[in-house]
Amino acid sequence: MPALYVGLMSGTSLDGVDTVLVDFASESPNTLATLWQPYPDSLRQQALALQAPRLNEIHDAALLANLLARIYGDAVLALLAKADVPSSEIAAIGCHGQTIRHQPASGYTIQLNNPALLAELTGISVIADFRSRDIAAGGQGAPLVPAFHASVFGNPHSRRTILNLGGIANLTTLIPGQAVTGFDCGPGNLLMDAWIEQNQGHRHDEDGRWAASGQTLPALLDSLLADPFFAANPPKSCGRDEFNLSWLAQHLAGSERTEDVQATLLEFTAITVTQAITRWCSNPEEVFVCGGGAHNGALMARLGQLLINCRVASTDFLSLSPDWVEAVAFAWLARQTLNGKTGNLPEVTGASGARILGAIYPA
């Protein structure tokens, strides 16, 4: 079977699609090419609107799924052209899709995509819908990346935690001789990105500079931390369904300086991550960070101050850029599927057992 796979990841941040070409011929995945394609503003607004019930949402969701498939297809073909690799050499595309609802307690999760159309557009087999089988087996359907983290980042001589700071933050604990554990620990960049976009029109807080210009509001921070999600035991997962600007508004008096709210949201992310690591991650010696939050200097510095007994660094140190970890993970999950191997970890998601994930759409 060919060793080349494409991974596609478009996450909670709704900023665009990460596309990677990965060679699995050796023990460690080799990233041959990468491409990031931003979402048009109109697409972002459509996806955000579908986070809540609305008139004609089934029709709108189907049209958005078609649009996403065309964007994904363009990204794949551009990536292969960049790498000068023909589509015939690709075993499969692993495509996460765009999450618009995540309701594992109700027995479903929805990642918009049209994998049949994507297979037609690219001439490559597509593996999609990775989360549904885990939920069918009683799991949360998330996070799925810990199995990949264990495969790629595990070290028999080091107690490690992998922290993914995307829109949602999740943790993977890699302790030699112990079962891998992992869970969503709360908002990563989601609330900070939403707040700065609402108040300043920027997609994200570059290097955390706006947050650094404000002051943490202790009363607001305490109110945010009181949400029951943070006291709940793993396995657990979350998304925009739980944490969004409407949720934040319930905790605001309305008289706060906007930069102070941003500073508090950064502290909120840092504190929830630190508390989760301290409580559930078995005293790691090293914390390696991936996702967009790895580029937020203010947030990384604060994590370094709070996690005083850990080395805090980006996954660059482990020879995989923090920007591409999740996309490579979905290429790896696609490979697991085609090889008939399981992709979830029941200890992480709470599923009743390990399962082969995803649906295959042949070329």
Check whether residue 93 and residue 67 sit in a common domain: yes
Same domain for 274 and 167?
yes
Q: How far apart are CA 212 and CA 206, in angstroms?
A: 11
Number of compact structural domains in the chain: 2
Residues 156 and 177 both lie in one domain: yes
Let me know whether 181 and 271 are in one domain: yes
CA–CA gap between residue 257 and residue 254 (Å, rounded): 9
Domain identity same for 335 and 305: no
Pairing state of beta strands 359-361 and 126-128? antiparallel
Which carries the bigger pLDDT value, residue 11 or residue 23?
Answer: 23
Identify the pLDDT of residue 53: 86
Residues of the domain holding 104? 4-139+324-361
Q: How far is CA 107 from CA 102, 103, 104, 135, 359, in A?
A: 9, 6, 5, 6, 18
Given 318, 335, 353, which residue is the final one in a domain? 318
| pLDDT bracket for residue 1 (50, 70, 90) | low
Q: Are residues 18 and 108 in the same domain?
A: yes
Residue 16 makes CB contacts below 8 A (sequence gap 6+) with 10, 36, 37, 38, 39
> Where residue 284 sits, what CATH number does that domain have?
3.30.420.40
In terms of domains, do 290 and 342 share one? no
Q: Give percent of the chain with pLDDT exceeding 70.
A: 100
Phi, psi of 173, rounded to the nearest 5 degrees: -105, 125
pTM: 0.95
pLDDT at 2 over 90: no
Please answer whether residues 274 and 280 qualify as being in contact, where contact means their C-beta atoms are separated by less than 8 angstroms. Answer: no
Which one of 302, 318, 334 terminates a domain? 318
Give the chain's largest Cα–Cα span.
61
pLDDT at 47: 94
| Percent of the residues in the chain that have a pLDDT greater than 90, as a whole number | 96
Each residue's pLDDT tens digit, 166-184: 999 999 999 999 999 999 9
On whether both 254 and 232 belong to a single domain, the answer is yes
Pair 194, 310 in one domain: yes
pLDDT digits (tens, 9 = 90+) for 212-241: 999 999 999 999 999 999 999 999 999 999
Mean pLDDT within 63-80: 98
Residue 51 pLDDT > 90: no
Q: Residue 14 pLDDT more than 70?
A: yes
As a whole number of Å, the CA-based R_g of the chain is 20
Structure confidence at residue 196 (pLDDT): 98
Regarding whether 149 and 133 lie in a shared domain, the answer is no
What are φ and ψ of residue 322, in 5° steps? -60, -20
Mean pLDDT computed over every residue of the chain: 96
Same domain, 334 and 271: no
- Co-location of 72 and 192 in the same domain: no
201 φ, ψ to 5°? 80, 10
Per-residue pLDDT, averaged over 333-350, amounts to: 97
Contact 204, 291 (CB under 8 A): no
Residues 6 or more apart whose CB falls under 8 angstroms from that of 112 comprise 47, 50, 61, 64, 65, 68, 97, 98, 99, 100
Q: Which of 318, 335, 352 is the C-terminal boundary of a domain?
A: 318
Task: Express each pLDDT in 122-165 by its tens digit.
Answer: 999 999 999 999 999 999 999 999 999 999 999 999 999 999 99
Collapsing DSSP to helix, strand or coil, 26 comes out as: coil
